[in-house]
Amino acid sequence: MIAWILLTALVLVYSISLPPLLKRAGLNSALGYIPLVNLVLMLKLIKRPWYWFFVILCPGINLFLLIVMNVEAGIVFGKSKTKDQWMFGALPWLALPMLAYKETSLPYLGPRDWTGKKKSMMREWGEALVFAVIAASAIRTIFLEAFTIPTPSMEKSMLVGDYLFVSKMSYGAKLPQTPLAVPFLHNALPGGMTNSYLETLTLPYFRLPGFGSVERLDPVVFNFPHGDTIMVDPFYAGHDYYSYVRKEAIILANGYDNYTQNPDRFEKQARNNFAIKKVCQVCALERNQRTQKPLAIGGVRYRPMDRRENYVKRCIGLPGDDLSIINRQVHINGQPQQDPEGVMHSYRFRVKSPAALKKIYTEFKVNINDRNSMNDGGELFYQSSFTASDAEKLRGNSDITMLEVNNDTIPESFDPQSLFPNSPRTPYTSWTRDNYGPVHIPAKGETVELNPDNIAMYRRVIQNYEGNTLQIKDGKAIINGSPADSYTFKQNYYWMMGDNRHQSADSRYWGFVPEDHIVGKPVFTWMSKEDPNYQETAEIRWGRMFRFVD
């Protein structure tokens, strides 16, 4: 609220102060009363390029630029001392009116002439740094942003350690909704979980025009839809908070069956663990800690949409599609879809010797986390993910004694609600990663009938993504206080899946991606370096550099 008051006050200050200043400079003072138009004249006053005006319209970047403009507005009237520059930069609400109405004897001198003069090193570096930050921030916001692949969910298309440029123009750049932030940092300061942004000033969602819209099979970077609430822990911050609430609740209930008897009670206890006690029992179990002591976390935190973790997946379903997965094969509107070339599935296999196994891991570049071994009736077999073409090569390998693709047919026993829509109703609890759906993907302007069977599917869309209140009483939906038997969607939604189908937390787990969460399209790999946590070495992958992303 304070930030909005200050911003509104600055707009008024410009309209009040610029007309007399423009008149002193021999410019059209009448236009100085008109917001935005007066900023174009202010650029003329300080003799800066007219195209700076378009940068002024970009939230976040404009804060830096307005400070520069305010300081230079003082300089052109002789207010060039250090204390004056601090005054115009930090307190323009006071400095500009004083210059306009109290210090009327100060003539218009124009920008400082540095001809034949030498700027101090501090000033040169300071000016260079300010304009570098402004230029780089503008490029990052509107055109291209660097992005790193953190997990193997998109192998073999995108590897852990690939450094990409994401095109913001492909679908239209989203302007920042939390513009008060440290430049170039997404949501946290280095070395911890301290926010790199302030929520003092928040702006509504707005997207600039783009070159096109999301198409089927596009790789897409987006803000993680379930990332509105996070556990304050560097490892778990990018994970699905809501799934951890459910898993914690199941542990507190001593099993899934007990949990389903009163899920609200146990989920409330789980949230209390995370937010108040600041501990996580399921996290400790996942870390394989040989102790009953829960893992200490830093509590929970809300994140605005533009500061949620960035995910990258491939768009499989478009608005209005009916999607299902049958024996690993995606079907759209009843028609089977051909998998992209890089799609991987999990395979079980046996080998003749440990040496042969190591050779296979090296030849097919199987990441360390995907090298699993299991015992089945006393016989040892291995499990890893391969593309269809790699699987064909393995079938012709004399060292392989058995190879078969995994096909999940049995729902997860610990948490049958793990897959979207995360509901205990039939048939949702019988769905698996490889036999899933059908799901109808919402389209803007489309109306669906609401009933007890599908309300779980669209609950989060109605309530969280489109800002309505939603209650369920006696199986009936009450939206914004009124009974509703149907709902009309306000925006488009998409279905995203990883190419590494058995190692990807994607829409099968947390559902639809709203259009306003779309960030951009990966277009170019400029650097690729192995990650020792996933690969055995940390070498640069020269063959993947300077390649377009498919």
The pLDDT of residue 123: 67
The pLDDT of residue 132: 78
Burial (0-12, 13-18, 19+ Cβ within 10 Å), 223: buried
pTM assigned to the model: 0.87
Q: Can you count the helices (H) and strands (E) in the chain?
A: 15, 25
- Which domains are seen in the chain, by residue range? 2-111 (no CATH), 329-405 (3.30.70.80)
In 149-257, at which residue ranges do the beta strands (DSSP E only) sit? Answer: 162-167, 219-223, 229-231
**Could you tell me the two tokens for 143?**
């055109």
Q: Can the peptide bond before residue 438 be classed as cis, meaning omega within 30 degrees of 0?
A: yes
User: In whole angstroms, what is the distance from residue 73 CA to residue 67 CA?
Assistant: 10
Burial (0-12, 13-18, 19+ Cβ within 10 Å), 70: buried
Q: Can the peptide bond before residue 421 be classed as cis, meaning omega within 30 degrees of 0?
A: yes
**Could you tell me the two tokens for 63?**
């804060």
**pLDDT truncated to tens, each residue of the chain (550 aa)?**
676 787 888 889 999 999 999 999 999 889 989 988 999 999 999 998 888 888 887 877 788 889 889 999 999 999 988 899 889 988 999 999 999 999 999 999 988 766 666 767 776 777 677 777 777 888 888 899 999 998 899 988 899 999 999 999 999 999 899 988 888 889 999 888 999 998 988 889 999 999 999 999 999 999 999 999 999 999 999 999 999 999 999 999 999 999 999 999 999 999 999 999 999 999 988 877 666 788 999 999 999 999 999 999 999 999 999 999 999 999 999 999 999 888 999 999 999 999 999 999 999 999 998 999 988 777 889 999 999 999 999 998 989 999 999 998 889 889 999 999 999 998 999 999 999 999 999 999 999 999 988 999 999 999 999 999 999 888 789 999 999 999 999 999 999 999 999 999 999 999 999 999 999 999 999 999 999 888 888 889 999 988 999 8
* Number of C-beta neighbours around residue 272 at 10 A: 13
State the residue for tokens 């822990």: 233
The pLDDT of residue 291: 62
